[in-house]
Amino acid sequence: MVIVVLVLGIAYAAFPFAPVVGIWAYDQVAPSAGPPEKVASAELNGSEPGSVLQATTLPLVTRKWEGRGLQAARVVYRSTSGDDMSPTIVSGSVFVPKGDAPAGGWPVVSLGHATLGIDTPCAPSLDSGLLGFLRYVNVFTGMGYAVALADFQGLGAKGIHPYSDSRTAALNMIDAVRALRHTFPDVSDRWVAFGDSQGAGASWAADEQAKDYAPELKLLGALAASPPADMTGIVQKAQDGTLTSEQRGVIQAIIESLARLHPDLNRDDFRTAGAKHYWNVLTDCRPANAYARSQAVDGVGPRDFAPKTPAAADRLRGLLEDWALPQKPLSEPLYVYYGGKDPFIDAEWTTAAIQRACALGGSVTIKYDPDGGHNPSDALDAIQWMTDRFEGKPAKNDC
C-alpha cells in the first residue's frame, strides 16, 4: 500500500512547469555531501547510442533518506535526435538497489518525467531531489527495479530542448536504459517505459521506436499517463480563443521551443504585446522566479497566442503534426490513462491518437476516466499492469 500511495503522487501537476527546487551548481558546494566521484564500474569506451561519456556519483541524492538504499549516478551519454537521427549528447541519472541482484539482473523501469522547463538547468539530474522524482525512484528500486531517468535533450546538457517532440524524448529514454547497463553491473535487458504527461508521450513513442532502435533490449510494454500524443489541436484553440489557462503555458513553451529550433519562425506571429511582455518569465524555471511565473500565467489571456495569419497557423500546425503520435506501430503493449476533464490535453486528441495506434495493429489497454483530470485518481491498475508485463502475463487489448 505504501508503494501505491507514493506512486499516486507522481508529478502530473508539473505540466507545463514544475518549480525547480534546487540547482546542481548549488548542490556541488553543499558542505555535507562531498564532491561527486567517478563511478568505477562505468564503461566509458563506446561510441554508439547509449554509450556513456561521463558517470559520476550523486552524493546529495544518496545521502537523503529516500536515496540511502540506492546506488546512483549522473550520466552524460550519447543519443539520437528523433527529427533527423543525428547523434546528440544528453544527460540523465541511473539507479540500482543496493544488495544482490536477482538471477538475470535487475529488471529496468525507464522513467519519463513531466514538463520541468525548456532550458538547460531544468533537469532532474541537476537537482538533489531529482525535481521531485527521487521519491518515485525510491519506490521502484524498493520494488526491485533498476531505474533510468533521462533528462531529455537540451535539459542538463547543451542543446535545444524540442518540447512536445515525443520521438526524441523516447530515444533519450531508450538510450538511458543502455547507459544504465553501461554504468552498473547486473542490470537486465528486460525493461518497461513509464511516463507521465510530457514523459507519457515519450513512453508511448519509446514503445514505437524500441523494436528497430534497440533490438538488443527486451521491451515488455509502456505506460503513458496523460500523454500529449498529438497537440495539433491546440493551434485551432489558440485561433478560436478557447485555450484553457493551463494550455496557454503549454503553447507558449511549444512556440518558444520551435522558435529556437527554427530561427525563421517569428515568435511575434504567435503572441500579442501582452504575451511578449511576460514571455521570458513564462519560460524561466528557476525557483526564485516561481511567483513571477504564476503571475505571468494569470496575466495572459486565451487570445494572446493566436497565430496572426493563416500561414502562421499552418506552419505551427504542420510542425506539431510532424511530432504527433503514432509515428509507427507499437513494439509491445501500451497502457494509456487519460481524463475527460484534463485542462492541459483535450480528451478527444488522445482518443483519436489511440484509435490511430489501434488501426496500426497495436495492443492498447485504455484507462479512461470521463470525470478525471490530468492526474489519475489511483495508480493501482497501472502498477499491476506493469507487474504483469514482467511476469509474462498477457495484456488486455481494448482496441
Which sequence spans correspond to the domains of the chain? 2-230+328-390, 233-321
Please tell me whether the peptide bond between 326 and the residue prior to it is cis, using omega within 30 degrees of 0. yes
Nearest to 338 by CA among 245, 228, 244: 228
Which cell goes with 31? 558542505
φ and ψ at 158, to 5 degrees? -60, 150
CA-based torsion, 147, 153, 155, 156: positive or negative: positive
Are the CB atoms for 38 and 76 separated by under 8 Å? Answer: no
Phi-psi region of 361 (alpha: psi -120 to 50; beta: other; left: phi over 0): left
**pLDDT per residue of the chain (399 residues) written in tens, 0 to 9:** 222 333 333 333 333 444 333 333 334 334 456 899 999 999 999 999 999 999 999 999 999 998 999 999 999 999 999 999 999 999 999 999 999 999 999 999 999 999 999 999 999 999 999 999 999 999 999 999 999 999 999 999 999 999 999 999 999 999 999 999 999 999 999 999 999 999 999 999 999 999 999 999 999 999 999 999 999 999 999 999 999 999 999 999 999 999 999 999 999 999 999 999 999 999 988 877 888 888 888 899 999 999 999 999 999 999 999 999 999 999 999 999 999 999 999 999 999 999 999 999 999 999 999 999 998 877 889 999 999 999 999 999 999
Q: How far, in Å, CA of 261 to CA of 321, rounded?
A: 16
- Residue-level pLDDT at 376: 83
- Residue-level pLDDT at 32: 52
Alpha helices by DSSP H, listed for 214-346, are 233-240, 245-261, 273-282, 290-299, 310-323
What are the DSSP E strand ranges found in the chain? 52-57, 70-80, 87-97, 106-112, 146-150, 187-196, 218-225, 334-339, 364-369
End-to-end CA distance of the chain: 31
Which cell goes with 148? 533510468
- Residue-level pLDDT at 286: 81
- Residue-level pLDDT at 4: 30
Annotation: CATH topology of 2-230+328-390: Rossmann fold (3.40.50)
- Residue-level pLDDT at 379: 81
Q: How far, in Å, CA of 232 to CA of 61, rounded?
A: 38
How much is the pTM? 0.92
Are the CB atoms for 61 and 70 separated by under 8 Å? Answer: yes
